[in-house]
Amino acid sequence: MKKTVDMTKGSPFKLLLTFSLPIALGFVLQQLYSLGDSLIVSLSLGYNAVTGVNVTGSMTFMVLGFAQGISAGFGIVLAQYVGAKDEHNMRKTVGSAIVLTVIVTAILSVITVLLSRPLLALLETNEDYIGYADAYIKTIFAGLVFTTLYNLSDQIMRAMGDSRTPVFILILCAILNLGLNSLLFIFPSLTVAWAGWATVISQGISAIVGFTVIFKKFEVLRLKACHFKLKLGFSIKLLAMGLPMAIQFVITASGCMIQQRAFNMLPNKYYAMAQGTAGKIDNIFGMVLNGCGTAMATYAGQNYGAKNYNRLREGLKAGLLVGLIYTAFSTVGAITLAQPLTHLLLPGAPAQVYAYSQQYLTVQGVCYYFLFALFLFRQALQAVGKSSLTVIGGVVELVLRVIVSFTFAIWFGFDGACISNPLAWLGGAVCFIILFAVVAKKFPHADYNEKINDEKDNDNIDNIEQAKQEA
């Protein structure tokens, strides 16, 4: 097997920091090229068009989150087999994951394309934006299978201990995406839908590149036709890990959609414009935090597969320290860059839009450690095979976000609506920490490898004593 990062050995702090940096960079690049898309749409089609793209964020998160949750679950199963050095099941996991991903996302794609306009209407999307939003989101949903396969290739490489190659593939994807989007300047007949197609095409090409790299780099994952045949028991095992994660994403995204509706219902339409754009900026810094959470999924998955339970616990402590570094960066970045980035994305917008964006991002930024803790412990729960428990945390997030979005929006307007995310993060984080503590209590206190070494040492001592007696 090609040498990659073995998370079962070495300093947990150093491993999590170095392994998470490329992941965080990749997530940031992904959000930056998303901002680049928004900038191109804004400059070529106007800020009503780009607001239409931005207000679809919660819907996109729900649908893509469902598909990505499944592939992330498959990646965790693979990481566990990597830790256990089980090459046969590693191949079975990858082959089955590809087939299941195509089946699930193809069905999901048809459903979401049909329901996109009714969902936008349900969210009280402003008439100035709804046409642009529907045209854009339909293309994203139509190409869902390509986007999800691209994400699956990322999950496979990370599970194998490679967090760097996905960054290079993402750079390729970003260049393709921005290049295709730039055609909006050249061909005036192109509409906002082209921005969606540019994303789908670039991610489809990146998926092909990703799997080409996987099959070339990792000899152990060079599959045969038999590995693509679905077996009921193994498929159920994969879906049992992936579906709860997907449902958890849907629950969280549902709360975000309800929150978006609360902003859309506020009397000043500039609130929704500011929040939609600020949400894009917020995603950049939130994804920095998610980089460490994603690294924890690989770390915990490999150590759980290797039965290194004490090391798994040490990793959580190290992860909390790493989070202080990431959180400081994200908080400062979100607050200081709020207005410059909003001006960049919405040139010529009314002055109050920039002030509302600054307010929204300041509130989010000072509460980022709640979000980090949520990511870290949620990924740890998923990695140890307890993805079904993450649904509980998702429900807590949903309830808090719904209650706060509407009650605080009614009582305090935009000021109150801004606090809905931080309170949801805090509630979800506390829930995941408690759940993981309960699960971790059941882990043996001695690692499997330590037991094996102790047994070997005892056998050696017994052999020496026996040899002495014989002498």
Over residues 332-388, the pLDDT tens digits come to: 999 999 888 888 877 777 788 888 888 889 988 999 999 999 999 988 988 887 877
Over residues 127-160, the pLDDT tens digits come to: 888 888 888 889 989 999 998 899 899 889 988 8
Flag whether pLDDT at 463 surpasses 50: no
| Separation between Cα atoms, residue 76 and residue 241, nearest integer Å | 8
Flag whether pLDDT at 459 surpasses 50: no
The predicted pLDDT at position 4 comes to 61
The predicted pLDDT at position 266 comes to 65
| Separation between Cα atoms, residue 89 and residue 205, nearest integer Å | 28
| Separation between Cα atoms, residue 464 and residue 15, nearest integer Å | 39
Start-to-end C-alpha separation, the chain: 46
The predicted pLDDT at position 471 comes to 39
- Residue percentage of the chain with pLDDT more than 90: 20
Of residues 419 and 320, more confidently modeled: 320
Over residues 286-306, the pLDDT tens digits come to: 888 888 888 888 888 888 888
Question: Cα–chain-centroid distance for residue 173?
Answer: 17
Residues contacting 285, CB < 8 A, separation 6+: 329, 330, 331, 333, 334, 365, 368
Confidence of residue 434 (pLDDT cuts 50, 70, 90): very high
DSSP 348: T
The DSSP annotation for 17-80 comes to HHHHHHHHHHHHHHHHHHHHHHHHHHHHH-HHHHHHHHTTHHHHHHHHHHHHHHHHHHHHHHHH
The predicted pLDDT at position 92 comes to 92
CB atoms within 10 A of CB 175: 12
Flag whether pLDDT at 464 surpasses 50: no
Q: What angle do CA 441, 447, 449 make, to 5 degrees?
A: 165
Over residues 15-60, the pLDDT tens digits come to: 999 888 888 888 787 777 677 777 788 778 876 787 787 777 777 7
- In the chain, the largest separation of any two C-alpha atoms, in whole Å, equals 95
Over residues 101-117, the pLDDT tens digits come to: 999 889 989 998 998 89
The predicted pLDDT at position 210 comes to 93
The predicted pLDDT at position 149 comes to 92
Of residues 358 and 188, more confidently modeled: 358
The predicted pLDDT at position 193 comes to 86
The predicted pLDDT at position 2 comes to 46
Q: Is 348 left (phi over 0), alpha (psi -120 to 50) or beta?
A: left
Question: Tokens 């590693």 — which residue?
Answer: 90
The predicted pLDDT at position 322 comes to 92
The mean per-residue pLDDT over the stretch 304-318 comes to 89
CB atoms within 10 A of CB 33: 21
The answer to whether 120 and 59 are in contact (CB under 8 A) is yes
The predicted pLDDT at position 453 comes to 46
Of residues 439 and 250, more confidently modeled: 439
| pTM given for the model | 0.70
Flag whether pLDDT at 422 surpasses 80: yes
Domain map (residue ranges) of the chain: 12-450
Q: Is 40 left (phi over 0), alpha (psi -120 to 50) or beta?
A: alpha
